[in-house]
């Protein structure tokens, strides 16, 4: 027995220590980051709410049991069965008297503790300064007050029911309630206790019913969200009457407690039930069926208008600038002359396809990696804003193979290195990206910055860094030397994580990460720091738990540092008369898999916070981006001094923040229907739109086309601006194959925040919608993609590109409002089927109206499309041939003919320079002649001559490579 008790004590102490270690490491993490008050506020609020919930349940239940027992009939005559029950229960009565309320209180405490956020919001609520159109109450009542009080009433109702059941059970067990044949006898005290309990419950139901009338403003009735004609004229008055009836019936139960007769409250309860059926269900149905349905468009018009106005306000689209756009379909010469700036910034590099290119050209070692989806940013290069495809070179410890020891994974391979950026509108002669920042160490146009990336989207779960001054460097920094054979080591110098400066901390972290090495390794010393929770989105989410985090944090070089820019949203599902929609479904597309959110349904959203996470030391900074947002103001009261003002943002940071894609996708989903502001037109759904499917997604599993960041000039703008755009096609209830894929609208938002420190550009966030004429047919993305595939000349050229061991990959299909119409641009990549191959941009497809062009460069394609001279330059007309004799030492494996008309070697193998090598020069001259002959044969349609020239081209390239490599 003694041994068992000792074991039990040891087990309990071990569990308590594990719990303590988890809590203690959380304290260390938040304290190091400077957000300890966020954690303590959550713990304190949860603890207080737990105590309130525990006491609010336990005390009434205990009181009910105690009252029923103490005032039981002393000489009650019990049947034999109850006698046996009493004999069994009596020895445990005192334990049950306190134990049952305590257990119920625990469950209640846990339930109420989870409501700490709602309670803190209610206590710190901020007025919206706007009222609802039905009751004239401030919007904050629906966001904070109504959910809070409905929760309180619901909890109190549960407490009363449980207390009443406990009292009835006790009274029955001790004879206060007796059943004899057809008669039920209830003692006076039991009668009073039951009547008071019923009174309190009915009063609570009266309050609940009264609150239900306000909840109708967030109900969805199919066509609209909010109170409809039937709700306003039947449901709401019915709920008000029912609340009064419930209050009257509650009074009847008090009367029953005094006079000892139950007839009146029983009749009243029956009346309440009948009234609920009539007023709550029958009356609204009658009004809807016989009054509204025959004249629905007329009677619902005012309420539809409420829904339109409140929805547009809640989603931030009320200031939408809508412009009719009479798009031409005639591709005339010089048509792009007025759009020269937009044309020069057309991004032909697809960030979803060039990851393999970045890997092969810039990865350098197997322990580096790039994300599957690269990001788009912009930088000021020589005084010009330049769109760029960017990524950080992050560490990949999973690729260490047999070297993946704990020591290597934790203290040696600790960080990534550098930012890689490529011009969005340029390509090399063989289709590779043209880098504006690349290499190890990093060189390029972005200036000097701290290149080490300790905090990234793919960082290891934890790393131990740092060491005493003067100690040996053990963290691998980057491969060095002319051949990359040697390594450079470093020691972390920042303040990025909790310090492991004593044995106790090492012990708790060894328990947290289930690794005794943290406690035992000699690499861990008093100056060591442990870095964990390193994903930028996760770090922001932990320090700002009230935010919904954008799905795409992106890296930027800002003020000499690599920082992750993370957008945060405040959301609600309680905004009156606003359409509720699924956040995850709204933002899911080809690039964004459907995310999982704890709260998915929303009808209000603001991009209230811009956050940055330093890629070197993990520092999180929150900036109040939408300082007028009442939800953010409320949370600033709850967590004071955690959010900085927008005035603290530097000009360099302002130039890199952008309008977030997730918010834009939510807004485009709403504007598919709510671009219509007339209630009559909205009712008929005659002009409902939807986002088209991505034409490059598989037909078996189509996904929505993502919005794209581009520098463009809308017809209503005087200058180009960094923007985010999407298109609309008609909404069809039929199968996707039978829907009309024609353009009906073009939506763009100004995503450029400017370059002034602490001050947003006045045009930032301006939504502009071009509405296309209904009587004209402008092809949508699906039709254009189909035209590309069906065009005989394009099809023949693509088949040539697919010859041998190559595959053709279609890039993102971009749409631009230029030349008085809509221009489609799609890069075409060719990739060898070899293991080390990567996509090479070889062709560009363009379309305007019903015309199509397919050329090696965007410049050439535009000139071909617009009568030989588009009137503008796209920036890729002067493509410089690649030096085939130098490179990074990585063979691309694309040794097949790409059919692009370029005679350069697509490999980047190392070797001696070709200058001064007669054999190489001779082979390249033969290749150039073969290339000229091949292009001429293709233009003439002479495929026999084409094949012969192609064979000569391949042979000449092989000779050049052999000669260059000796």
Using omega within 30 degrees of 0 as the cis cutoff, is the peptide bond preceding 688 cis?
Answer: no
**CB burial of residue 303 (10 Å; 0-12, 13-18, 19+):** buried
**pLDDT(901) > 80:** no
**pLDDT(183) > 90:** no
* pLDDT, tens digit, 9 for 90 and up, residues 48-91: 999 999 999 999 999 999 998 888 776 555 555 555 655 666 66
Burial 152-166 (b: 16+ CB within 10 A, else e): bbebbbbbbebbbeb
pLDDT at 85: 59
Structure tokens, 14? 């071990």
Q: Name residues whose C-beta falls within 8 Å of residue 302's C-beta, 6 or more positions apart in sequence.
A: 679
* pLDDT, tens digit, 9 for 90 and up, residues 688-722: 999 999 998 888 889 999 999 999 999 989 889 99
Structure tokens, 655? 């130039």
d(C-alpha 556, C-alpha 550), whole Å: 16
**HSE of 365, CA atoms in CB hemisphere, 13 A:** 25
**pLDDT(836) > 80:** no
Residues of the chain by 3-state class (helix, strand, coil), percent to 5? 45, 20, 40
pLDDT at 886: 29
pLDDT at 379: 94
* pLDDT, tens digit, 9 for 90 and up, residues 313-329: 999 999 999 999 998 88
Structure tokens, 894? 């694309």
The continuous run of DSSP H or E covering 865 comes out as helix 858-865
d(C-alpha 115, C-alpha 602), whole Å: 18
The residue among 284, 265, 387 whose CA lies nearest residue 752 is: 387
Q: Name residues whose C-beta falls within 8 Å of residue 549's C-beta, 6 or more positions apart in sequence.
A: 537, 540, 541, 566, 567, 568, 569
Structure tokens, 631? 């939800």
pLDDT at 700: 86
Q: pLDDT tier at 818 (50, 70, 90 boundaries)?
A: very high
Burial 174-202 (b: 16+ CB within 10 A, else e): bbbbbeeeeeeebbebbbbbbbbbbbbbb
| Cα–Cα separations (whole angstroms), residue 618 to 29, 35, 49, 377, 540 | 11, 13, 33, 21, 10
Per the prediction, the chain carries an average pLDDT of 87
Terminal-to-terminal C-alpha distance of the chain: 85
pLDDT at 127: 96
Sole residue written with tokens 């560009």: 844
**pLDDT(507) > 80:** yes
Q: pLDDT tier at 485 (50, 70, 90 boundaries)?
A: low
The residue among 276, 272, 273, 252 whose CA lies nearest residue 264 is: 252
Q: pLDDT tier at 898 (50, 70, 90 boundaries)?
A: very low
DSSP label at residue 218: G
* pLDDT, tens digit, 9 for 90 and up, residues 151-178: 999 999 999 999 999 999 888 877 777 7
**pLDDT(878) > 70:** no
| pTM of this structure | 0.86
Whether 410 contacts 524, CB under 8 Å = no
User: Facing residues of 729 across strands?
Assistant: 690
**pLDDT(891) > 50:** no
DSSP string for 98-114: HHHHHHHHHHHHHHHHT
pLDDT at 541: 97
Strand, coil or helix: what is 44?
helix
* pLDDT, tens digit, 9 for 90 and up, residues 10-34: 888 888 888 899 999 999 999 999 9
* pLDDT, tens digit, 9 for 90 and up, residues 370-412: 999 999 999 999 888 899 999 999 999 999 888 889 999 999 9
Q: pLDDT tier at 910 (50, 70, 90 boundaries)?
A: very low
The residue among 378, 390, 377, 346 whose CA lies nearest residue 815 is: 346
Packing angle between helix 36-70 and helix 146-173, nearest 10 degrees?
Answer: 30
**pLDDT(361) > 70:** yes
Q: Which of 70-84, 236-250, 418-432, 948-962 has the highest mean pLDDT?
A: 236-250
**pLDDT(966) > 60:** no
Structure tokens, 275? 């009234």
**pLDDT(914) > 60:** no
**pLDDT(937) > 90:** no
The residue among 772, 675, 776, 688 whose CA lies nearest residue 732 is: 688
Q: pLDDT tier at 769 (50, 70, 90 boundaries)?
A: very high
**pLDDT(122) > 90:** yes
Please, where are the H alpha helices in 34-145? 36-70, 80-89, 93-113, 116-123, 139-140
The continuous run of DSSP H or E covering 151 comes out as helix 146-173
Q: What is the mean pLDDT of residues 355-367?
A: 90
DSSP label at residue 774: T
Number of H helices, E strands in the chain: 30, 34
Q: What is the mean pLDDT of residues 288-299?
A: 91
* pLDDT, tens digit, 9 for 90 and up, residues 582-623: 999 999 999 999 988 888 999 999 999 999 999 999 999 999
pLDDT at 903: 35
Strand, coil or helix: what is 890?
coil
d(C-alpha 966, C-alpha 960), whole Å: 10
Query: Which stretch of 255-269, 591-605, 948-962 has the lowest confidence by average pLDDT?
Result: 948-962
Q: What is the mean pLDDT of residues 641-661?
A: 96
pLDDT at 882: 38
pLDDT at 525: 93
Whether 769 contacts 671, CB under 8 Å = yes
User: Facing residues of 815 across strands?
Assistant: 824
């Amino acid at each position: 027995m003694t041994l068992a008790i000792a074991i039990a004590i040891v087990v309990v102490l071990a569990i308590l220590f594990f719990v303590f270690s988890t809590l203690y490491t959380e304290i260390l993490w938040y304290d190091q980051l400077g957000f300890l008050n966020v954690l303590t506020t959550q713990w304190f609020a949860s603890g207080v709410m737990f105590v309130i919930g525990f006491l609010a349940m336990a005390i009434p239940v205990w009181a009910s049991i105690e009252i029923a027992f103490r005032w039981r009939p002393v000489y009650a005559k019990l049947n034999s069965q109850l006698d046996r029950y009493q004999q069994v229960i009596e020895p445990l009565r005192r334990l049950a008297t306190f134990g049952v309320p305590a257990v119920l209180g625990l469950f209640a405490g846990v339930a109420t503790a989870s409501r700490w956020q709602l309670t803190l919001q209610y206590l710190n609520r901020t007025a919206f300064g706007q009222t609802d159109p039905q009751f004239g109450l401030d919007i904050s009542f629906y966001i904070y007050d109504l959910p809070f009080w409905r929760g309180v009433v619901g909890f109190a109702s549960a407490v009363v029911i449980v207390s009443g059941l406990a009292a009835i059970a006790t009274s029955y067990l001790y004879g206060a309630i007796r059943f004899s044949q057809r008669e039920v006898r209830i003692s006076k005290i039991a009668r009073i206790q039951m009547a008071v309990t019923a009174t309190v419950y009915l009063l609570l139901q009266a309050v609940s019913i009264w609150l239900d009338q306000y909840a109708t403003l967030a109900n969805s009735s199919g066509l609209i969200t909010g109170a409809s004609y039937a709700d306003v004229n039947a449901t709401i008055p019915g709920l008000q009457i029912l609340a009064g009836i419930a209050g009257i019936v509650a009074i009847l139960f008090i009367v029953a407690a005094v006079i000892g007769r139950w007839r009146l409250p029983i009749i009243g309860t029956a009346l309440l039930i009948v009234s609920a059926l009539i007023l709550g269900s029958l009356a609204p149905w009658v009004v809807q069926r016989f009054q509204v349905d025959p004249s629905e468009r007329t009677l619902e018009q005012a309420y539809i208008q409420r829904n339109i106005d409140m929805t547009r306000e809640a989603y931030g689209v009320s200031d939408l600038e809508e412009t009719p756009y009479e798009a031409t379909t005639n591709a005339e010469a010089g048509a792009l002359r007025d759009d020269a700036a937009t044309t020069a910034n057309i991004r032909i590099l697809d960030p979803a396809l060039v990851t393999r290119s970045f890997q092969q050209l810039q990865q350098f070692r197997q322990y580096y990696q790039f994300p599957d989806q690269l990001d788009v940013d912009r930088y000021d290069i020589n005084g010009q804003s330049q769109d760029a495809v960017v990524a950080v070179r992050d560490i990949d410890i999973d690729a260490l193979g047999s070297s993946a020891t704990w020591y290597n994974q934790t203290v040696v391979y600790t960080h990534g290195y550098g930012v890689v950026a490529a011009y969005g509108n340029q390509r090399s002669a063989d289709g590779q990206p043209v880098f504006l920042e690349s290499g190890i160490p990093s060189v390029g146009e972005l200036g000097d910055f701290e290149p080490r990336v300790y905090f990234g989207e793919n960082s290891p779960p934890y790393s131990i860094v740092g060491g005493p001054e003067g100690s040996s460097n053990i963290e691998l920094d980057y491969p060095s030397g002319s051949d990359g054979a040697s390594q450079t080591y470093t020691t972390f110098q920042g303040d990025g994580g909790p310090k492991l400066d004593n044995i106790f901390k090492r012990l708790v972290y060894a328990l947290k990460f289930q690794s005794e090495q943290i406690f035992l390794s000699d690499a861990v010393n008093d100056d060591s720091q442990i870095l964990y929770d390193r994903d930028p989105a996760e770090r922001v989410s932990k320090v700002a738990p009230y935010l919904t985090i954008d799905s795409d944090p992106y890296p930027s070089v800002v003020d000499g540092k690599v920082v992750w820019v993370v957008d945060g949203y405040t959301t609600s599902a309680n905004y009156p008369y606003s359409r509720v929609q699924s956040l995850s479904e709204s933002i899911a597309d080809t690039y964004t898999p459907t995310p999982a959110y704890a709260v998915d349904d929303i009808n209000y959203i603001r991009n209230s916070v811009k956050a940055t996470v330093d890629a070197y030391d993990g520092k999180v900074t929150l900036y109040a981006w939408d300082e007028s947002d009442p939800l953010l103001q409320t949370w600033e009261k709850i967590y004071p001094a955690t959010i900085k003002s927008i005035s603290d943002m530097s000009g360099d940071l302002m130039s890199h923040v952008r309008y977030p894609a997730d918010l834009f996708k939510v807004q485009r989903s709403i504007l598919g229907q709510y671009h219509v502001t007339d209630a009559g037109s909205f009712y008929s759904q005659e002009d409902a739109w939807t986002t088209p499917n991505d034409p490059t997604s598989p037909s078996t599993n189509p996904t929505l086309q993502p919005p794209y960041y581009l520098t463009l000039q809308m017809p209503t703008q005087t200058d180009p601006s960094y923007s985010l755009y999407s298109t609309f096609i008609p909404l069809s209830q039929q199968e996707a194959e039978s829907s009309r894929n024609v353009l009906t609208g073009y939506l763009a938002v100004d995503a450029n925040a400017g370059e002034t420190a602490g001050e947003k550009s006045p045009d930032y966030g301006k939504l502009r919608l071009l509405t296309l004429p209904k009587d004209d047919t402008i092809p949508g993305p699906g039709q254009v993609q189909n035209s590309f595939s069906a065009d005989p000349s394009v099809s023949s050229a693509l088949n040539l590109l697919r010859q041998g061991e190559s595959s053709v990959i279609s890039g993102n299909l971009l749409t631009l409002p230029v030349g008085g119409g809509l221009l489609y641009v799609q890069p075409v990549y060719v990739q060898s089927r070899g293991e080390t191959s990567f996509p090479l941009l070889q062709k560009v497809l363009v379309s305007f109206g019903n015309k199509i062009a397919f050329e090696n460069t965007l410049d050439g394609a535009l000139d071909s499309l617009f009568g030989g001279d588009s009137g503008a330059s796209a920036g890729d007309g002067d493509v410089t041939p690649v030096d085939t004799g130098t490179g990074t030492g990585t063979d691309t494996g694309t040794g097949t003919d790409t059919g692009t008309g370029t005679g350069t070697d697509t490999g980047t193998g190392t070797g001696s320079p070709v200058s001064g090598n007669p054999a190489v020069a001779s082979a390249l001259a033969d290749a150039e002649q073969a290339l000229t002959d091949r292009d001429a044969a293709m233009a003439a349609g002479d495929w026999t001559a084409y094949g012969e020239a192609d064979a000569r081209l391949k042979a000449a390239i092989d000779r050049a490579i052999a000669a260059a490599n000796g």
